[in-house]
């Protein structure tokens, strides 16, 4: 089994200049925890997790008396928060290797890129892997 067999194709993405507010809204509306960040050509430039967003916005939720600071935090670009040095795999990579990356780096999802162009083509979360393994049992 390889990455292409279990990935979610055409994942929801943001660009590096989209706001934190936009990313949070996308995560909530689509019930997702990981959002790849892509450039104008669809190439992967980073990853944004619900943890990244929570860590960046938690202080504003505890200080309601400072609404301007909350607006500033929510209007920051996701490039301020994203993990730029992210792990990725290709469609052909073995699922065992994907699992090793998730375990070794303690991450919840891995973007899948085209081997030739580095263009984002999918994402694999630990939930995708568990669902695939369940079907094999």
- Residue 95: count other Cβ atoms within 10 Å of its Cβ: 20
Q: How far is CA 118 from the centre of its chain?
A: 16
What is the phi/psi pair of residue 88, to 5°?
Answer: -145, 165
Domain topology for 3-136: CBS-domain (3.10.580)
Q: Strand 89-90 relative to strand 109-113: parallel, antiparallel, unpaired? A: parallel
Q: How do residues 73-121 score in pLDDT, each as one tens digit? A: 788 899 998 999 999 999 999 999 999 999 999 999 999 999 998 899 9
Instruction: Let me know the angle formed at the C-alpha of 61 by 27 and 125, rounded to the nearest 5 degrees.
Output: 25
Structural domain spans, the chain: 3-136
Q: Compute the distance between CA of residue 59 and CA of residue 97 in angstroms, rounded to an integer.
A: 37
Total count of residues recorded for the chain: 137
Q: How do residues 13-44 score in pLDDT, each as one tens digit? A: 999 999 998 999 999 899 999 999 999 999 99
What is the model's pTM?
0.86
């Amino acid at each position: 089994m390889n990455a292409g067999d279990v990935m979610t194709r055409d994942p929801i993405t943001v660009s590096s200049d989209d706001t934190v507010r936009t990313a949070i809204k996308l995560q909530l509306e689509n019930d997702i925890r990981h959002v790849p960040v892509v450039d104008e050509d669809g190439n992967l430039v980073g990853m944004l997790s619900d943890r990244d967003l929570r860590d960046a916005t938690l202080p504003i939720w505890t200080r309601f008396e400072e609404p301007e600071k909350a607006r500033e935090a929510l209007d920051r670009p996701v490039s301020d928060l994203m993990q730029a040095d992210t792990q990725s795999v290709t469609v052909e990579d073995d699922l065992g290797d994907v699992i090793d990356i998730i375990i070794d780096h303690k991450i919840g999802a891995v973007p899948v890129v085209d081997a030739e162009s580095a263009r984002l083509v999918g994402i694999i979360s630990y939930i995708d892997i568990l669902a695939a393994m369940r079907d094999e049992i």
